[in-house]
Amino acid sequence: MPALVEALTPEQIDDFDRDGFVIVEQGLVPESALGLLRERFVRLFDGEYETGIKPDEVNWVRGRDAGDRTRQICNGWRADTVVGAQVLSERTGRLTAQLSRYRGVRLLQDNVLWKPPGAKAIGFHQDSSYADYLVPAEMITCWISLDDLPADAGPVQYVRGSHLWPRTPPQRSQFHAPEDWLAPARAAAPDGDELDLVPVVVKAGGGSFHHGRTWHGSPPNTSASVARMALVSHMLPVDARFHETNVDLIYSRYRRRGDLSLDESFFPVLWHESGYRTPWLAELPAFGSDPGVRTRPDPP
């Protein structure tokens, strides 16, 4: 059984700073949790919500949408406590804080992604392009594969060094199943530079962390058998707030009138240097050495 990653090395942090991402081959998820998470993926896409709460976005429905599309749910953690236990893990927050140098980390949203054989591409984009309703409009993303992931299974790919490029408008029309998934990144490349693409080829439970401005997407899944299930956490600095005027069609519904703060009921604190962690996270299932127990009773 691979050891769980409890801290990143100085070399991995240097890789992140230089490239805009770092790949962790395995050990981001307890091995005992992988099968259970895969099972919960199937239930979520069958419309079975353990908590009785529908996720914020369900972008693929069986019988409604084409079978060659990547299946996506946003904020599956609201619907399923097992998905929540991993998305909201203290370990993920702590590793993110190492890379970002944030004094604390909170969750913005998750993505539950299922890309079966034959599924088409996801267009290249920058995550921070979609965050102008937040201050600061930035994030760090953890992308975890629940399967052993070969290069032909449509893994996420990064453009090395593209976190140093300017932030661009959101790529909405070219996101799901574009014919040329690399086109937005090529258009954004300074002086038409050639894209230095790096696929995330990892073992089950491995994955990557990437900067909010790092260009990324994924090609079609051309493998014969790999389902390519991935669980994604988009994380913010603990002191992030809503923008005073900019709003998001979906996530600004969680903004209280007259209050720009992010409510921990919806944007929980995963890790803080003081030892604080949103108290209700202790109610989630425990995976391996990640009990999710807070060590300080008061918010920072």
Tens of pLDDT, residues 197-245: 999 999 999 999 999 999 999 999 999 999 999 999 999 999 999 999 9
Is pLDDT at 268 greater than 70 in this prediction? Answer: yes
Q: What pLDDT, on a 0 to 100 scale, did the predictor assign at position 286?
A: 84
Answer whether residue 220 is part of any domain: yes
How many domains does one find in the chain?
Answer: 1
Q: Average pLDDT for residues 44-57, to the nearest whole number?
A: 97
Contacts (Cβ under 8 Å, ≥6 apart) of 183: 123, 124, 174
Rounded to the nearest 10 degrees, the angle between the axes of helix 90-100 and helix 10-19 is 60
- Note down the domain range covering 236: 10-283
Tokens 């994030």, located at residue: 139
Rounded to 10 degrees, the C-alpha dihedral 150/155/157/163 comes to: -120
Within a domain: residue 295? no
Q: Is residue 288 part of a domain?
A: no
Q: Which residue intervals of 20-138 are DSSP H helices?
A: 31-45, 81-87, 90-100
Q: Has residue 32 got a pLDDT over 60?
A: yes
| Within a domain: 182 | yes
Q: Does residue 71 form part of some domain? A: yes
User: What local confidence, expressed as pLDDT, does residue 291 receive?
Assistant: 40
How much of the chain is helix, strand and coil, in % rounded to 5?
25, 25, 55
CA distance 149 to 154: 9
What's the CATH number where 176 sits? 2.60.120.620
- Kindly state the tokens that stand for 282: 């202790």
Which pLDDT belongs to residue 179?
83
In the predicted model, is pLDDT for residue 169 greater than 90? no
* d(C-alpha 194, C-alpha 184), whole Å: 13
Spacing of C-alpha 119 from chain mean position: 20
Of the two residues 177 and 141, the one the predictor is more confident about is 141
Q: 274 in a domain, yes or no?
A: yes
| Whole-number CA gyration radius for the chain | 18
CA 202/CA 204 separation, integer angstroms = 7
Of residues 170 and 136, more confidently modeled: 136
Cα distances (Å, whole numbers) of residue 74 to 187, 241, 250, 269: 27, 20, 11, 18
Question: What is the Cβ-side half-sphere exposure of residue 71, based on CA atoms within 13 angstroms?
Answer: 27
Structural element, H or E, at residue 17:
helix 10-19
Which tokens hold the place of 275? 């030892």
Name every residue whose Cβ is closer than 8 Å to that of residue 115 and which is 6 or more positions away in sequence.
70, 71, 153, 154, 218, 221, 227, 228, 229, 230
Determine, yes or no, domain membership for 149. Answer: yes
Residue 173 lies in a domain: yes
- Any idea what DSSP says for residue 192? G
| Per-residue model confidence (pLDDT) at position 2 | 80
Paired with 237 in beta bridges are 105
Strand pairing report for 57-58 and 71-74: antiparallel
Give the global pTM: 0.93
